[in-house]
Amino acid sequence: MGTVWEGKAKVAVGDENQRQQAPQNQKDLDAGALFVLQSKGSWLHCGYHLTTSIVAPALLSLPYAFVHLGWAGGVACLVIGALVTFYSYNLISLVLEHHAQLGHRQLRFRDMAQDILGPRWGRYYVGPIQFAVCYGAVIGCALLGGQCMKAIYEVSRPNGSMKLYEFVTIFGVLLLILAQMPSFHSLRHINMASLVLCLAYSACAAAGSIYIGHSSKGPEKSYTLNGSTVDRVFGVFNSIAIIATTFGNGIIPEIQATLAPPVKGKMFKGLCICYVIVCATFFSVAIAGYWAFGNQSDGMLLSNFTSEGRNLVPKWFIVISNAFVILQLAAVGVVYLQPTNEVLEKTLSDPKRGQFSARNVIPRLISRSISVIIGTVIAGMLPFFGDINAVIGAFGFLPLDFVLPAVFFNLTFKPSRKTVIFWLNVSIVAVFVVLAVIGSVAAVRQISLDAKNYKLFANV
């Protein structure tokens, strides 16, 4: 019998049968894990889920992040963000694989925190932070979906009377329907389509930017870093938080939970698929958008395709670009609903009854519908939720995706202090804790600056 070395943790392995992770006893699983986090997927399905959760329309804000960072700073932050998140997500995967090999497969982020850091960390920090990040993402998807619908409407009817909250409501209906998909695994085909959609609107965004950049209609290009010293400093940290949040995921353990055992090596393959898409989309959109619009880049790149009531690209191009975004937002929204669905299912469903029994279907239908309705109402009522979400992202995505993976790895495998990996992980923790604090302060400051423009149900 051989031995696989993983830091100081050693796992005995033998023939192929002995290497199969023993699946957790189905009778021991609660309804949330049993029904929502079904372990049936392949590494390819995992790649679809990862791509949908990371390569989302938030990437269209990357040119805006470059406004405060400039060319060198923007590209450097993109490269660092890609490298650190790919590394961090692999650390989480290795920790999860290790526990699965020991016969205790962790299916949720809070399970990892509870087992590695202690029960209070899972219950009072990681669980609530993950819920806030994921539900905030759902609200953000509803708001952005409504804004994209409104953009299409204004192209076809410039003097139309429909308001933003009406479009948010329409998008909420679409999300309400998709929210009834019974499990994370059942989203695999939707997320495959989502992968194609993110490539489509990223290509449209990059191509449209290049077209405008070469045309006489485009704005005069300027890459000067504007503002006072204080504004520029806060702008830098706000931009770093935007980029970090764009790379954020927050649900790596839940995605890995959808893999059929044995899970070893599957997550790495899924991450490779995802990061090929990340490199193709993030860099093309960020560079093309910033090149075309410079320091006039908007928070949503597609908004730059219209200037002072003039369309800088053909109308059909604006319509199709926004349509691709809307469709993918629906997939992203329902993916980030999964942690909420899991908690609701755990609380309201009976694991001893069938997943599609009346006893479980009725509470599922009602609770998920209420969850989506609440998110849609918040999105329509607070069209400035993006500012609030920036705080949630800085306070949530940075710890979940940059800090905790390194902490989990060092506590699980206990690498020697003489090794590079120990100090690399410590350095990542230290740097991103500081960035999380400063990013949160910068986001709160932005809220205070924008507060004078806030109005409930505003038609922005």
Crossing angle of helices 404-413 and 420-450, in 10° steps, is 160
Quick one: tokens of 297? Answer: 């880049």
- Position 252 scores a pLDDT of 94
pTM: 0.91
Note the pLDDT tens digit of each residue in 354-385. Answer: 889 999 999 999 999 999 999 999 998 887 75
Residue 256 has pLDDT above 60, yes or no: yes
Note the pLDDT tens digit of each residue in 21-53. Answer: 444 555 578 888 899 999 999 999 999 999 999
Which of the residue ranges 165-169, 267-271, 281-285, 437-441 would you say has the lowest mean pLDDT?
Answer: 437-441
Closest among 282, 252, 248 to 399, alpha carbons compared: 248
On the CB side of 138, CA atoms within 13 Å amount to 28
Question: Are the beta carbons of 428 and 409 closer than 8 angstroms?
Answer: no
Q: How far apart are CA 88 and CA 403, in angstroms?
A: 8
Phi, psi of 260 (to 5 degrees): -70, 140
CA dist 443 → 172, 237, 346 (Å)? 27, 9, 34
- Position 239 scores a pLDDT of 87
Facing residues of 13 across strands? 2
Task: Name the maximum alpha-carbon separation found in the chain.
Answer: 75
Residue 13 has pLDDT above 90, yes or no: no
Q: What is the pLDDT of the chain when averaged over all its residues? A: 88
Instruction: Give every CB contact of residue 411 below 8 A, 6+ residues apart in sequence.
Output: 116, 117
The band of 3, judged by pLDDT with boundaries at 50, 70 and 90, is very low
- Position 104 scores a pLDDT of 85
Element housing 333 (H / E) = helix 315-336
Place of tokens 């087992």: 115
The band of 389, judged by pLDDT with boundaries at 50, 70 and 90, is low
The band of 153, judged by pLDDT with boundaries at 50, 70 and 90, is very high
Quick one: tokens of 122? Answer: 């899972």
Instruction: Find the mean pLDDT for residues 51-59.
Output: 94
The band of 148, judged by pLDDT with boundaries at 50, 70 and 90, is very high
Residue 86 has pLDDT above 60, yes or no: yes
Quick one: tokens of 325? Answer: 């975004």
Burial class (CB in 10 A: 0-12, 13-18, 19+), 46: buried
- Position 354 scores a pLDDT of 87
Element housing 236 (H / E) = helix 229-247
Quick one: tokens of 375? Answer: 């998110």
Residue 55 has pLDDT above 80, yes or no: yes
Instruction: Find the mean pLDDT for residues 268-291.
Output: 96
Note the pLDDT tens digit of each residue in 203-254. Answer: 999 999 999 999 887 788 888 888 788 888 888 888 888 888 899 899 999 9
What is the sign of the dihedral through the CA atoms of 209, 385, 37 and 352? negative
- Position 385 scores a pLDDT of 59
Question: Are the beta carbons of 429 and 165 closer than 8 angstroms?
Answer: no
- Position 1 scores a pLDDT of 39
Residue 79 has pLDDT above 70, yes or no: yes
Quick one: tokens of 319? Answer: 């319509």
- Position 225 scores a pLDDT of 83
Q: How far apart are CA 43 and CA 258, in angstroms?
A: 9
Element housing 306 (H / E) = strand 306-307
Which CB contacts under 8 angstroms, 24+ apart, belong to 161-170? 163/457, 163/459, 164/380, 164/383, 164/457, 164/458, 164/459, 164/460, 165/380, 165/381, 165/383, 165/457, 165/459, 168/142, 168/143, 168/376, 168/379, 168/380, 169/376, 169/380, 170/146
Residue type for 214, please? H
Taking CA 185 as the corner, what is the angle to CA 182 and CA 190, rounded to the nearest 5 degrees?
Answer: 90
Q: How far apart are CA 21 and CA 29, in angstroms?
A: 16
- Position 7 scores a pLDDT of 44
- Position 377 scores a pLDDT of 94
- Position 15 scores a pLDDT of 38
